[in-house]
Amino acid sequence: MLELCLGGRLTSSFKASRILTVTAHNIHSVPTWPNKGLNKLYRLSQKFSLKKSESVLLPYLCYSTVSVINTSGCSVLRQYEVRIKREVGHSSSVHTHGITVDTNEKKKQIQMGPGLEHFIANNKQSNNTLDGDQRKVLSRRDLEKISHPYVNVADIDGNGRKVYFDVYGCQMNVSDTEVAWSILKNHGYVRTNERDKADVVLVMTCSIREGAEQKVWNKLDHLRGLKNKRAMNKKTTPMKIGVLGCMAERLKKKLIEKEKSIDVVAGPDSYRDLPRLLSLADGGEATVNVLLSLEETYADVVPVSLSANRMSAFVSIMRGCDNMCTYCIVPFTRGRERSRNVDSIVEEVRYLSNQGIKEITLLGQNVNSYRDVSQIQHAGFSIDKDEKTHVVKGFKTIYKPKKGGLRFADLLDKVSQIDPEMRIRFTSPHPKDFPDEVLHLVKEKDNICKNIHLPAQCGSTRILELMRRGYTREAYCELVIHIRSIIPDVSLSSDFICGFCSETEEEFQETLSLIQQVKYNFCFLFPYSLREKTPAHRKLVDDVPHSVKLDRLQRMCGLFRTEVAKINRMQVGQQQLILVEGASKRSNLDLVGRNDGNTRVIFPDVEVEDKDIRCTRKIQPGDYVSVLITNSSTQVLKGIPLAITTLQAYHD
């Protein structure tokens, strides 16, 4: 241990009652994976409030920089760099500029350093650790709070600071924001919906396309102005700006160098570290943690919603992706695939059901490749540890089949049994991972929506091969036919990219013909955007002019609108079950909800019969309403509410 004492020379100019803050910055090297060739340097700090002649013990590390700060003025009075060379079998001490460092190890106080409990903090069972001469049983939450062994809990407390979230990108980013907010809330932060009043602004970013990143850069320019304006007022708390998510991982160096106003950069697997990073940022230095993990799933973190009176929720079941499509940045920003254990997912879904949530969406970058290998045995399931994963006929992967674990069909079945009145959706799947077990389950369970997202990306077999999608156009079309043979009323959606490397006009026409042939209920359509680090960036040439990409996108959107208008028009006259979300944005006289296929349906806000209580009442958000469809457009359906019902009663 290092004993740090304030000598008379250091405090001679201060009154004895003046409290100083001493911050010891310890820098140490943590080995990376074998043969990776690089070691990461981490800066850990600990703060102490000392009066004259007081001392404190610090964990021993080879290099230490000690700063003495006047807390009343928040200015660094002096900074000392102390290098200690430890001799084996001897104790040594150094006296430098009024700071005494004593390296004599005190075995009886070794428990002040990191103990075994810091490495088993996620263990579900109780853990014992020595605290002085007493044996104390630490709760799971206590273990989480001390998971930063060189930082006091008080140092990483938010102390009521206001945090504002700005979210960009996909549903997974919304889910990640709820995880980050849950962690910060447990450390004393308070959320605000007013950006100008926030002490901390965290921007959840997306790197999937250049346009998404440009929006974030524009937002950071705006936030820099707010931060500078706040800094001019000495009576207000300085604003901290943090960048979270995929863009943080991909552009960590550029963010720090270009945006000097950024205080915190945290990748998708680093949200547990946010309280410590924000605490270190108080010292005036930018803090970064973008390490990807092979295990992190945030299974033990209960997400806290950012919206009030919500009827639906996202449940993240797996993270990362192993498919390595040549155009996609996800494997490089979110890492390898890893799945949450079934029990934690079931527990979260049951909690949401008890909170009145009527619809959940199971989330993952490759959601239907879910595979829980956390336990050899699961209640109600027989697991063959040697059973290999298999893909749809005509599809292939770049990786070997994986063995063992509970699969997506097992999870989907178990989740569907929690609450028969709760709708279940899932996204985003890969077409290769649709075994018949999943399709038959979707057909048989009334509360699993007959809505399947089936990303095609392109209609040309040659381009699909360049994209490394693992299937041909023919195999994809056969899968569509197979799905509709099992689920005749299925609603399909898809993703398409136009203008991929070397795509010709004839190959683009194949994409248009696929959209026309399959007849999707919804499509996400984008021009190709080259991403650094991806295989396409290294091996292919982005040779389709931007003007050509935009022209193809316009034609693709026009064709889809024509086709979806026909599909929606065919639904006029049908009676559909709608989950009510709330008032329509265009008129307070109308309500809006979604049908089983995830299409928005608008209908008048009137009193109708509630079949459960056999009398009329006003329709409320969260109600299931039987609606007669009377009109349609390319984006919405319109109808007349007939009665308030339940999901089970409607299907009986």
pLDDT at residue 488 is higher than 70: yes
Q: What is the mean pLDDT of residues 418-427?
A: 97
Assigned domain for 357 exists = yes
pLDDT at residue 102 is higher than 50: no
Query: Is 497 within 8 Å of 536 (Cβ atoms)?
Result: no
Last residue of a domain, one of 448, 476, 494: 448
Q: What is the mean pLDDT of residues 102-114?
A: 43
Do 281 and 173 share a domain, yes or no?
A: yes
Do 271 and 365 share a domain, yes or no?
A: no
Tell me the C-alpha distance between 641 and 607, whole Å: 9
Q: Between these two residues, 414 and 132, which has the higher pLDDT value?
A: 414
Do 441 and 455 share a domain, yes or no?
A: no
The 10s digit of each residue's pLDDT in 291-350 is 888 889 999 898 999 887 789 999 999 999 999 999 999 999 999 999 999 999 999 999
pLDDT at residue 645 is higher than 90: yes
Tell me the C-alpha distance between 515 and 424, whole Å: 26
Assigned domain for 270 exists = yes
Position 248 scores a pLDDT of 87
pLDDT at residue 53 is higher than 70: no
The 10s digit of each residue's pLDDT in 336-374 is 999 999 999 999 999 999 999 999 999 999 999 999 988
Q: For residue 561, what pLDDT band results from cuts at 50, 70 and 90?
A: very high
Do 496 and 607 share a domain, yes or no?
A: no
- Domain of 244, CATH number, reads 3.40.50.12160
Q: For residue 261, what pLDDT band results from cuts at 50, 70 and 90?
A: confident
- Domain of 387, CATH number, reads 3.30.750.210
Tell me the C-alpha distance between 98 and 517, whole Å: 80
Do 224 and 322 share a domain, yes or no?
A: no
Question: Beta strands 240-245 and 264-266: pairing type?
Answer: parallel
Assigned domain for 127 exists = no
Position 381 scores a pLDDT of 58
Do 356 and 394 share a domain, yes or no?
A: yes
Domains of the chain: total: 5
Residue 132 in tokens: 């002085």
Assigned domain for 131 exists = no
Do 315 and 441 share a domain, yes or no?
A: yes
Do 564 and 586 share a domain, yes or no?
A: no
Last residue of a domain, one of 60, 94, 113: 113
- Domain of 611, CATH number, reads 2.40.50.140
* 393 backbone dihedrals φ, ψ, rounded to 5°: -55, 130
User: 72-81, 254-263, 288-297, 347-356: which has the highest mean pLDDT?
Assistant: 347-356
Assigned domain for 279 exists = yes
Do 353 and 397 share a domain, yes or no?
A: yes
Assigned domain for 20 exists = yes
pLDDT at residue 530 is higher than 60: yes
Q: What is the mean pLDDT of residues 197-222?
A: 91
pLDDT at residue 168 is higher than 50: yes
Position 119 scores a pLDDT of 52
Do 226 and 323 share a domain, yes or no?
A: no
Please give the C-alpha separations between residue 548 and each of 497, 508, 537, in angstroms, as whole numbers.
13, 11, 19
Position 257 scores a pLDDT of 77
Q: Which residues span the domain enclosing 108?
A: 2-113
Do 399 and 503 share a domain, yes or no?
A: no
Question: Beta strands 2-6 and 55-58: pairing type?
Answer: antiparallel
Assigned domain for 626 exists = yes
Assigned domain for 132 exists = no
Q: Which among 108, 117, 101 has a CA at the least distance from the CA of 65?
A: 101
Last residue of a domain, one of 532, 553, 570: 570
3 state DSSP class of 451: strand
Do 102 and 11 share a domain, yes or no?
A: yes
* % of the chain exceeding 90 in pLDDT: 59
Tell me the C-alpha distance between 206 and 189, whole Å: 24
Position 256 scores a pLDDT of 80
Q: Report the predicted TM-score, pTM, of the whole model to 2 decimal places.
A: 0.77
